[in-house]
Structure formats: structure tokens, C-alpha cells
A and B are shown apart, each in its own frame.
Chain A
Amino acid sequence: MKPNKAQKIWMYEHMLVSRYFEESIEKIYMEGKSPAFNMANGPIPGEMHLSNGQEPCAVGVCAHLTAEDVVTSTHRPHHVAIAKGVDLDRMTAEIFGKKTGLSGGRGGHMHIFDAAVNFSCSGIIAEGMGPAAGAALSRQLQGKTGVAVAFLGDGAVNQGAFHEVMNLAAVWKLPVVFVVEDNGWGISVSKSDSTAVEHNDTRAAAYGMPGYRVINNDPVAVFEVAGNAIARARAGEGPSLIEIETYRLAGHFMGDAEGYRPDGEKDALHSKDPIPAMKRLLVAECGWGDSEELEITTKAHFRVDQAIQFARDSAYPEPEEALDKVFV
């Protein structure tokens, strides 16, 4: 299925929101961390994994999902969370560790939970696979609508959980789709140094599951392939695997010197930045002009700035709140 104009614009808009969000987080993250870079300092402490460049994976898939559908994401979750419709104010407040955050500051950037849109993520590689399959099982058992999508990285495919869950989902014909964001790296280790096959879509055959690969980090191609896989899941025909060639434009996390990158890789990736590419497509196919661009950009910036203001204005939790919510 091809995206119509509205869907293309929806994708572009969410790509813009996500990118501007990450750029803003990047700046704020550095507050209080210079001259001496110490992760513990600043308004956003701890690790920070930015998704710049990987927006196509998020929007191309989530364009087909509603709030009732379930998504599990990774340690690099912002773009997916935004495309899934997570409450941006409360997500930002969570990243700042504020009381108004989705989890009251208990989780932070690697632990974004928004029950209202069935989104969650985690910091352990491939850990979202099981819960996605389980949510899909829940819908199957209850005869309820809704599918589950598990996002994971190319490095995560080599984790045992991937194999176990792929097999289980296939044996039980669960309404779930597995989406591999292939940015070619697992921190400093390249996909080719860690993966025995060139591309992971070939691994779907090991589970009698359809496997697809999308190249060139193309949101429209992702939309088409994901649309079919998700429709298949909704129709009760079982799970699919999609590997998307995408670009990690930033470091693995903030503070990464990226010395492991081959010369020129960074520039080459930036020259293929999916956001200008998507804009060119809108201009070519959807009569996109400066006024539309200005309007959508302004709107995107406004939403993000508003969320960041909300986070900054929010209070920190009381220290003792650390003791709550261990059990409910």
C-alpha cells in the first residue's frame, strides 16, 4: 500500500518533531556538562541515545498504528515514542527526571512508559521482544483487535531473546511485527563484524516467517512494507520481520567520540539525511511549498519547545517518592 498525501505529510511532520526534539535534547544535555563532561551533571543526567537519522523507521511503521496497538522500543526510543503518540510533555519531563514525568522520574530516557498509547521501551538489548509477543498473545486470547510491534537494533538480532521470541511468535501465529533498525553499528562494533549474514531479513526463514528488507532509509518504502506486514498481522496471518537500512547520524550515546567510524562515513550519512530527502519528495509529489514548510516546522518547534518548557517548569519529585510504585 502506498501512502497518500496526508500520510506522507504525517510522516514528515513526525520526522521533524522527532529531529527537533533530539536536537533540543542534545543541547540541553550538554548544559552543565562542560568544560568537564560528566554524565551525572546537568538538567539531563545519565546516558542519552539520540535517534537522529532513524526517523523513517518510526514514522513508516507507526503510520499504520493506533493507540490500541502495542509498541515496544529500545534504549534509543524517542523517535518511535513520538511517532506512536506518546505524551510529549510528560515524556520530556521524564527525561528531565521530573515529578510530572510519565513515571514520575523513576525511569528516565531508557524507560518511557505511556499506557495510554501502549508504548514502552527498555535498556536491555532485545528485551522488548518478549513483551511484544505477549501483548500479541493477549489480543489473540481475548479476541481483541490490535497488533504489537517490537523495535530492535541490528546488534540486538544476535541476542538469544530474538531467536526464542521469533520462534514462539511463529509457532503461535501471533499478531506481531518485528522491526530491525539497522544502523550498521552496535556501539563501536559494526554489523559485519558481529553478524554472520549480510542482512537479517534472511533470518526470517529460520522461523517460516516472511522477511523484508528496506534500503536507503526511505520512509515511503518503510510505509509500504510495514503496511503489508501489519495488515497481515491484523488479518491473523501471523508475524513478520522487517529490517530497515537506517542511519545513526549521532554517536551511540552523547559523549561518544565515534573514532571507530571509517573516514567519511559521517559526512556520507549526513548527505543522505532522510529529512531533506522527505521534503524533496513532498515538493515533487505533493506540491509542497515554503508556506507549508514554514507552517509545519513552526508547529513542530512549537510542540517541542512547549514540552521542554513544561519539563523545565516542572518540579523534581520528593526524594522519598523513590520508595513508591515498587509494588502497586
Chain B
Amino acid sequence: MGDKRRLMREAIADLVHDGDSIALGLALESGIPFGAVHEIIRQGRRDLTLIGPISDMAFDQLIGAGSARRVIAAWVGNVAGGSGYGFRRGVEQGIPRALEVEDHSNFTVGLALKAAAMGLPFLPTLTGLGSDIVRDHPRIRPVDDPFGGPPLLAVGALTPDVTIVHAQRADPQGNAHLWGNLGLTVEGAYAAKRTIITCEEIVDEAVIRSDPNRTVIPGFLVDAVVEAPGGALPSSCQGYWRRDFEPFLSYHRQSRTVEGFQAWLQEWVLGVPSLTAALAKLGPDRLSRLRVEERRLAAAANFAP
């Protein structure tokens, strides 16, 4: 399947274009590919459509940086702090630019991705009946049950141009092992036209093949695999990194004003050349507090034939 290893800068430059729709943060609060998010901002992408279930800070940062034109999501904010000020400024005041929102629930945005992942125009559901979200919704319509039951709602397929996933490990062909909570990660990778895997470790294919049930994203669906240890910080990565709680709170405080947001942006994104530099900026003590040293290994599973 060929060697798909790329540097973060190359992968974002080649696979993420102005105007693209991008699904990321699909595992909800963990495994958010902040390294890729900040590289997208550094490269000055514009007019992006951001797709996800809940977004914990990542969408707020992309919106504040002016990279996004549209959001398709169930919840945008800061899970620890509540409101996302960048999101609010975009919707309420068009700062830094007007922002369209296609509101969803976690289930309906998941079904939209799943429909695309299944190669279907829609999937039916019972959720949302009686809600204002589904009223005049561009992607949700009534559908009859051909077996005579009461009517349902149909959620139309949503095909991201790019899905970005942070995995624990992958081989050079992009076969990726993920564990912990998965959220909509698998559906997002299947649904997308292009998929970028950022991961803690690129490992020998023998590691991946030793446990094919852990390969939730097969490499032939992947366009680039980027070795980016810590690429999900400050969100957590099971078995590798704890959640770094402080940046969520400090970003929440700083981003209350445009000036504060710009200061944050300059200090943590525009002013640092790369993920590596951003992690170095945290300092060794901080990193060692966040790094998981303890080992609680999955029980043995024998695949011998």
C-alpha cells in the first residue's frame, strides 16, 4: 500500500485546502489533534467547514483564528469552562468573520457521517422529533417507514473532504491502532475523501498485524500518517498523555476578549514554528507530569493460528 509517512507540515499543506470540510476531534474530549489544528492555523487555511460532535476548544481556536466559515456540530465550546468565546463572537458579531452553524445533536452528526461511511444517502432515526434543531434543517427531513410504522427522521450523508485522527500508533502504510473511547473516529475516517492520521508512534507493521482487531482504521483509507507524539495535547491520549487541564482554563480566560485571543494565538500558535517547539515551550517538568509512565497493559490475546 506504499509508505504514507509525512511530516505534519507536508501532510497539512498537501491534504488540507482552503474551503475544505474537515472532521476532527471525533473522540470528543480525548485525542483531539491539536498539533494538526495549530498547523492548519499556521498555514493560514481559510473558509473551512468544521465537522464534529462536541468540540472542546479546538473549533473555538480555528474560528477565532479566522480559518472557519461554517461549523457542523452538536456542541462548540470549552468543556471545562462552558462557552466558547471565539464561537460566540463568530456567531453573534461576525468576528473575525461571519460564521454559519449547522446545528446537530451528537447522534445526528454521527448518523450523517455513518451514512457516508456506509455509502448511503441517509440513515433514519427517532432522535430529534419535537426538537427545533431538526426544523428547516438542511440535512434532516421526515421519512416514512415503508413497513407502515410511524414516520421517522432521515439524516443526510455528510462526507468530509478530510478527517484528521490522532491515534496511539500506526504503521508506515497507515494501518492505525486506537484504544480508549472512540466516539465517532471510525465513522469519520470511513466517511472522508481523505484521512490524515497523526499518532504517538509509527511502529513496525508487525506490531499492527499482531492485533488486527485493534486496527480500527485500515491503511488503504489513509492518505498520510504523521508521527506526532503529544499531538493531542492538551487533550489526553490513553496510555500516553494525561489531560493538561490548565490550558483549557487559561485559554477560556484569555479568549474572553479579541485581544486576549490574539495574544494567545501569537504565543502558542503563530509564534511557535511547530508542534515540537510548542511542546518544548511547555518545559520538561510539565511534560513529565503529563506523560503516562505507569503501565496497565491489556490482558494477553492470542492470535496464533
- Asked whether A and B interact, the reply is no
Interface residues of B (CB under 8 A from A): none
Interface residues of A (CB under 8 A from B): none
